[in-house]
Structure 1
Amino acid sequence: MKSLPTLAAAFILGFAGAAAQAGAASAADLTLAFKGLQKQTGAILFVLVNSEAAYDDKAPAVAQDMLAVSGSAVTTRFADLAPGRYAIKAFHDLDGDGKMATNPFGMPTEPFAFSNNAEGMMGPPKWEAAAFEVKAGANVHAIDID
């Protein structure tokens, strides 16, 4: 006969395993494609965020990465994301200095883009324009950078 602590441990471990399986079933995968790259040099630098605060740089990003460019498109994949709303801010770092180049007036001189191919007026687009839904299972989101 098993002791009460052993039964309790088995129950807890079984429950944790079931919860992990349920979590895995509801997890989301996101394949992100940057396309329309005019120059096949440098890298795409981007952040993936899941809140308006993070989009406005007031909270941490879910992920940030740098993807080497060697063709007209580059892709990356994120596994086990929580389903929800996400947004992406990116730029094509042509000169490889890790910073977005700007002219003397502060206007970007390197290609940049946002999720949903959202465009801003006198600055980046608002969260509402850039946010997109990531559902459980496989998701693909493409962004044109030109």
Structure 2
Amino acid sequence: MTHKTLIACALGALMIAPLAQAAPLTVTVDNIQSQAGTIRLGVYDEAGYSGGDAVNGANISVDAATASVTLEGLAPGEYGIKLYHDVDDDGDMNASPFGMPTEPFAFSNNAKGRFGPASWDDAKFEITEEGAVQTIDLN
């Protein structure tokens, strides 16, 4: 092998290595009451879960009682999901004058919040190199 061929192979291996570590996450949302609007879903690492940016996410059009999406490219590790059903498709999670959500919402592991979002410890789950599956009941 020539020196240039070795360098090209090494660079190719470096480019493929991150892809080999990326894992898929399949999220299924069950018990959707209104077959209209959009499920707005964010996947967070621990640093972003309490108000930071999502590391991945999706908007899923709703036309049945169940909706699914597979997200690609997540590194193995711990994550949490926050989602809400934007029934009126206005792009916002609607709330009462007292700040209580008026549109359905849920968290990974079907974790429940008390006077706010579910805690990281209750919502976190592991994505391995093989990926992960989360089934979330929207109620």
Q: TM-score, normalised by structure 2?
A: 0.89
Tell me how far 1:140 sits from its aligned partner: 1.3
In structure 1, what is the Cα distance between the partners aligned to 2:110 and 2:10? Answer: 43
Partner of 1:37: 32
Partner of 1:47: 42
Partner secondary structure for residue 137 of structure 1: coil
- The alignment-based identity, stated in percent, is 42
- 1:106-117 matches, within 5 Å, as 106-117=99-110
- Structure 1: unaligned runs, 5 residues or longer: none
Tell me how far 1:53 sits from its aligned partner: 2.1
- Structure 2: unaligned runs, 5 residues or longer: none
Q: Is the 8 A contact 1:93 1:110 kept in 2?
A: yes
Q: What amino acid maps onto 1:73 in structure 2?
A: T
1:95-142 C-alpha deviation (Å, 9 max, x unpaired): 111111112211111110000111111111111111100001242111
Partner secondary structure for residue 109 of structure 2: helix
2:20 to 20, 25, 40: 25
Tell me how far 1:145 sits from its aligned partner: 0.8
1:16 matches 2:11: yes
Tell me how far 1:21 sits from its aligned partner: 4.2
The alignment covers a number of residue pairs equal to: 139
Q: What amino acid maps onto 1:104 in structure 2?
A: P
Tell me how far 1:10 sits from its aligned partner: 2.6
Q: Is the 8 A contact 2:80 2:107 kept in 1?
A: yes
Partner of 1:118: 111
